[in-house]
Amino acid sequence: MLREARVLMPERQFIYVADDVGFPYGGWEEESLKARILALFARLLETYTPEAVIVACNTAFTLAGADLRAAFPGTRFIGTVPAIKPAAERTRSGVVSVLATPGTIRRAYTRELIATYAQNQHVQLVGSPHLARMAETYIRGEPIDDEAVRAEITPCFIDQNGQRTDIVVLACTHYPFLANVFRRLAPWPVDWLDPAEAIARQARRVVSPLMDAVEPADEDLAVFTSGQPDFATRRLMQGFGLRVT
């Protein structure tokens, strides 16, 4: 998502925030996680005063998006939610799966999206407890087990009365890093729907261009809540063009 946002807003500085202390969010108890998210944003907004915030986590935004907007009315929040509407519009078979964290699957917000946009489709909700950590391992260049990944994605593939899943919504922002692995291990071809580009376009609409910007944007930063990312993580962030603070 950072990549897509940079392409559309090259004149802007970006601050990438990773809550490595709280990761992964999928298994948290809801009220505790909501309190953590609100407290974290209170500190971040005071420190960095951003013009807008992309909440690049389905679990966080489906749980606390409304509370963030209520608590910080002067900040524009661009949320990340499961791409159920575009999936329902694109599916030909009428069978769609949503691959997410257990937390996102539990949300009433997710159920409301289905009720609003996908009443006429069969939507399979698949909550993976392990894929987010696997993705973190993968992007660091460490090996992951094919069979373990296959076990996580297999419930997405439904053959219902001769109609098979043709779209899998990637409803966790870690999952697109594994998209090529998913394609290789899938029992049949599907469209792995990544909403990153659409979210970046929404951010571009919200944040007006700096038409008079003649100097390059300031250096992009990476902030970790632990304050102590390991060497592999620092090297990864440098590869993304981010300076770890």
Which residues are tagged catalytic? 57, 172
Render 56-91 in DSSP notation, one character per residue: --HHHHHHHHHHHHHH-TTSEEE-----HHHHHHH-
Place of tokens 């069978």: 95
Q: What angle do CA 33, 101, 28 make, to 5 degrees?
A: 25
Q: Would you call the peptide bond into 189 cis, given omega within 30 degrees of 0 as the criterion? A: no
Q: Give every CB contact of residue 21 below 8 A, 6+ residues apart in sequence.
A: 225, 226
Q: Which amino acid, residue 40?
A: L
Greatest extent of the chain over all pairs of C-alpha atoms, in Å:
59
The number of angstroms, rounded, from the C-alpha of 37 to the middle of its chain's C-alpha atoms is: 15
Taking Cα atoms as reference points, which of 174, 168, 90 lies closest to residue 135?
A: 174
